Structures are given as structure tokens and as C-alpha cells.
Copies of this chain bind each other. A is one copy, B any other.
Amino acid sequence: MNIGEIAKRAGVSRSTVSYALSGKRSVSEETRRKIQRVIDELGYRPNASARALANGRTSTLGLVFPPAGNHYTGMQLDFIGSVVEAAAAYDYDVLLSPSGMDSDRSFQRLLAERRVDGAILMEIRLQDDRVDHLVAENFPAVCIGRTARSDDDWWVGLDHTALAAACVHHLADLGHRRIAFVNRPEHLLRAGYESAHRGLDGFTKAAAERGLTVRTYCCGDDAPSGQACMERILHDDPATTALVTLNEAALGGIYRGLAAAGRHVPRDFSVTGVVAARWAETVTPQLTAADVPAEQMGRLAVELLVERLDHPDAAPRHHLLAPPISLRASTGPAHPGTAA
């Protein structure tokens, strides 16, 4: 039942049981065995709440992500999985908190009620009140993504600017001159989501550098939106021969839109973007893309957070990742007849 019960049955005091379990003071071998036997018999495990209250640590990490109203993307899901696994390796549990908006109830619960020792934030915005709030309180947190001013903060991020630019250069090298950009949904762009902004930035600058003609689009996070977006692209400029996308969930729809328009990938039209490998391999032809290393990022985020928890005064650290483009089957040279 509780530690007092164990103590009574072992004929020792509560504190001795506690020391036997924690090893923070020496306990005679004989006493330790006596206690251990009682514990094994009763299947005793110390109560987590009591322990958390006494030593001020909950052994739980918070994972803060936007509410699922708009479905999760595969990338977000991969993050969740890898964070949970990595946390388990450090003996931390993970508490999920669907808190997109600033200072909402769920977020407050996590922090102010001290349910978690630290937090990992997903879907960061360039100006993010949640992050500002955490930084101001010096609360141990690590972001997956980074805000506009991120030098003195803890995060693991993708270099979306460089990745989008790499996609543009890849297409330009293949001879494409008129390309489109399919971004995340418009409300996310307006809200300032960093991947949407930096990706768009990288795309636009690289395209200007290479003198390409571009159009940029926002697209809902689902297949039907992807198809509609593809139709719009071909309607707006039928001479478009390639696109770059950050929108994983729209990918299936984009492919369908191309098929419906009679464009063969990659002969008539090239598609590339920033997408986790397992999703890039789902479509046919498989997508040439900068593979988002979601698992690695989740693991790194946990490692950083654990380090920050163990060394409260450590200097901020971060990892900026820029995976190379994996050449698969969705891009090819611009068709001479099609190029404008």
C-alpha cells in the first residue's frame, strides 16, 4: 500500500525504507533484503504524486502542440512518437497538451500547476507569445522550430529557408523556369508559423536569384485542398512545369490534380519539397524531397531538454538541421516543348 505499511511489515521506520529505495544513505545489507522482500510480496510502488510533491519534480515532460481540429500532419505525428520514445529512455513520461493559442487553459495547467518539469513546443511561430512567456519565466523548454529572435533560446529546427532554396536550385538546374510554391494553409501563414514563412522566403529569394517566374499558393492540409490547389496552379499559368511544397498532407491531392490534368510526373511536371521520408515514399512516383528527420529532431529535443533540466544554468543550445535532398523519382528535366 504505502511506505508506512512496508515499514511496519519490515519492522523498520519509514525513513529507512525510503533510504533503502533511493540509496541516498547506506542501509545494512540485511535490512535492505528484509525490506525488498516485503516490497516484492506486496508489489509496492511509491506514489508518484507524493514523490513529486516532496522533491519538486514530476518526472514528466509536456509536449505542447496545436489542437487537432486541423488534423495532424505526418510530420507532427512522427515528432510525437519520437519524443515519447526518447523521453522514456530518460525515465520521463510525456503529457500531451493541445495548446495552439496563447495562454489558454491547457497551457496554464501544465506550467502554473507544475504538472511537468519541462516542455517541448511544436509548431512555433516567428512571434510566439508562448515562447516569450516561457523565456520570461525561465521555464525549462525546448522548441521544435524557432522564433524570429532565437539566438538565446533552446530549440531544434529545420533550416526551412535553405531547404526551400535547395529545392528551387534543384529545379532550376533541371531547366525549369516557371515554378509554383505550395505552402501550408493561409491561416497558419497569417498566424506567423515559422516553417511557412521561412520556406516561402527561401523559395522566393532563390527563385529571384535564378531569375525564375514564380507563383505562390497556400493550401489546406488535406488531399482535396491539394487537388484544388493544383487545378488553380495550372489554370493560373498552364506553362508551370514544377512545384515545391511544404505541405505533406496535400501531396496526394497534388498528384491527383496532375493526373487529372494529364500531366505525367516527372515527364511533364516535377514535384519536390520538404517532406518526411516515409511519406515521400508513399506516393507514386516517389517524391524527390528534403527528408525531414522527424525522429532525430524529437530525440534531440528531448536530449536538450533533459540537459537543461539537469543543468539549470547551462547556456542555451540548439541544433539547426538541413538534410540533403533525396533524389527519388518525381523530378526530371524540363520538357523542352513545355518550358516557356
Contact = CB atoms under 8 A, between A and B. Distances in A.
A199 B336 CA distance: 51
Contact of A255 (B96, B223, B284): B284
A106 to B, nearest CB: 6
A97 B93 contact: yes
Contact of A45 (B49, B80, B108): B108
Number of copies: 2
A255 to B, nearest CB: 6
A161 interface: no
Contacts of A67: 85
A331 interface: no
Nearest to A94: B96
A71 B110 CA distance: 28
- Size category, A interface: 35 or more
A139 interface: no
Nearest to A251: B282
B85 A98 contact: yes
A329 to B, nearest CB: 10
Interface stretch (A111-119, A171-179, A188-196, A318-326): A111-119
Contact of A259 (B95, B113, B284): B284
A290 to B, nearest CB: 18
Contacts of A286: 256
Contact of A109 (B63, B68, B93, B97): B93
B68 A72 contact: no
A282 B223 contact: yes
A23 interface: no
Given A71-B278, A95-B94, A278-B71, A48 B84 contact: no
Contact of A53 (B45, B49, B114): B49
A62 to B, nearest CB: 9
Contacts of A303: none
Interface in A52-96: 52-53, 58, 60, 63, 67-69, 71-72, 74, 77-78, 80-82, 84-85, 88, 93-96
A326 to B, nearest CB: 14
22 contacts: A45-B109, A45-B112, A46-B113, A47-B114, A48-B109, A48-B115, A49-B49, A49-B52, A49-B53, A50-B53, A60-B95, A60-B115, A72-B81, A84-B98, A93-B106, A93-B109, A93-B110, A94-B96, A222-B281, A223-B281, A256-B284, A282-B282
Given A45-B113, A223-B281, 5 more contacts: A47-B113, A60-B95, A72-B78, A96-B96, A224-B281
